[in-house]
Structure 1
Amino acid sequence: MTSDFPTAAQTKQELRLQALERRDALEIDDRLIWDEAIVERVLALPAFETAGPVSAYWPMRSEADPRPILEALHAKGTALCLPAIVKGAMLFRRWAPWEPIVPGGFGTLVPAPEQLQVKPTILIVPMAAFDRRGYRIGYGKGYYDKALAELGPVTCVGIAYGAQEIAAVPDEPHDQRLDWIVTEAEAIHCG
């Protein structure tokens, strides 16, 4: 017997596609201005006063760009890393601005394999969609949820544009909540 009700995964896929369409439709000039506001809000969070190592992502397509955050943290002497997917799991490799990056699959760029693996204390994560409870929809592979569960206590900050907000993410037991969501307009504490 089949159900006429969509599963959480089917609903997430639909919400993901809608949110990505909204994000992709945003004007690039607006996104560049909003990225500056996101940088200021993220760097003002209390967690970044004693941060390190901090992980972010290399932006793809129309994602909010965390690279200026990483550059500012690097200038303060904060250790940085970027995620890489290796054998089906997310790990984190040391990285600093202007160091080489290589293709990492799924359209990402990552530090070279010979870079030291580190454990971040703060993760800056991308989002396709989010809600104010701190749940996010990513790209559907669950790598961040698995990594957050394995890392133990870390501070997780999602960055996105306000247009990506939805009323409620259909969260599942494996979904990990974010501590903060930062948009061009506000920093939302979800913890």
Structure 2
Amino acid sequence: MTTPSDTHVTSSPRKAALRSAALDRRDALDIDSRLEWDPEITAQVLALPVWKGPGPVSAYWPMRSEADPRPILEALHERGLPLCLPAIVEKRMIFRRWAPYEAIVPGGFGTLVPAPTEPEVKPAILIVPLAAFDRRGYRIGYGKGYYDRALAELGPTISIGIGYAAQEIEAVPDEAHDRRLDWIVTERETIRCG
């Protein structure tokens, strides 16, 4: 098991090749199609039976061709749920309080994050990006293992991966440190994993 003190995950050559191919596939998706699919993903995520607790809920600020979780965050904010966004601090993923239209700052790796003055919080639900995924709930991210370590450190947490159906692969080569997602939502379907 990977512990929160681990600072880097070495990805297998096979996983690295799958990541590269998946990111190429995702980047090649037509932007107009993605703009049509994002509202479908949003509607399906908001229909999940997980929004009964008080939160907080974490998502990510989208980059590259990732599915856009910002409309999900705006809707959850309107429902009164507290929100947060991840930030990498000293090679560890933490979560800082955030609300729509509040300031965000560059956070490294091409991300945008809440200002460092915002308090750290512990999310109850994480919405995570996908490079690739399988139906068992395993995902391929960008290869640093931050989400896997965060999920291990946070303990019982609901995890929801969002992405496009074209990102599905037959099987992610899961390793001991990988954490399975509870749900995966695409523009086509909602998959209950595990």
2:171 equivalent in structure 1: 168
The AA in structure 2 aligned to 1:63 is E
RMSD of the alignment, in Å? 1.1
1:146 equivalent in structure 2: 149
SS of structure 2 residue aligned to 1:46? coil
Q: Is the 8 A contact 1:51 1:122 kept in 2?
A: no
Q: Is the 8 A contact 1:128 1:139 kept in 2?
A: yes
Q: What pairs with 1:8-47 in structure 2 (closer than 5 Å)?
A: 9-47=12-50
Could you tell me how far apart the structure 1 residues matched to 2:52 and 2:157 are?
14
Q: Is the 8 A contact 2:128 2:160 kept in 1?
A: yes
1:134 equivalent in structure 2: 137
The AA in structure 2 aligned to 1:181 is I
2:6 equivalent in structure 1: none
2:76 equivalent in structure 1: 73
Residue of structure 1 aligned with 2:56, choices 45, 53, 57: 53
Q: Tell me the CA shift for residue 49 of structure 1.
A: 3.2
Q: Which runs of at least 4 in structure 1 moved beyond 6 Å after TM superposition?
A: none
Could you tell me how far apart the structure 1 residues matched to 2:14 and 2:101 are?
39
Q: Tell me the CA shift for residue 48 of structure 1.
A: 1.8
TM-score normalised per structure 1: 0.95
Q: Tell me the CA shift for residue 50 of structure 1.
A: 2.9
Q: Is the 8 A contact 2:87 2:113 kept in 1?
A: yes
Could you tell me how far apart the structure 1 residues matched to 2:93 and 2:64 are?
20
SS of structure 1 residue aligned to 2:170? coil
Instruction: Tell me the number of residue pairs that the alignment of Structure 1 and Structure 2 aligns.
Output: 185
Could you list the per-position Cα deviations for residues 36-89 of structure 1 after superposition, in whole angstroms to 9, with x for gaps in the alignment?
000000000000233510000000010000000000000111000000000000
1:3 equivalent in structure 2: none
TM-score normalised per structure 2: 0.94
Could you list the per-position Cα deviations for residues 100-153 of structure 1 after superposition, in whole angstroms to 9, with x for gaps in the alignment?
000000000000000010000000000100000000000000000000000000
1:62 equivalent in structure 2: 65
Identity within the alignment, %: 72
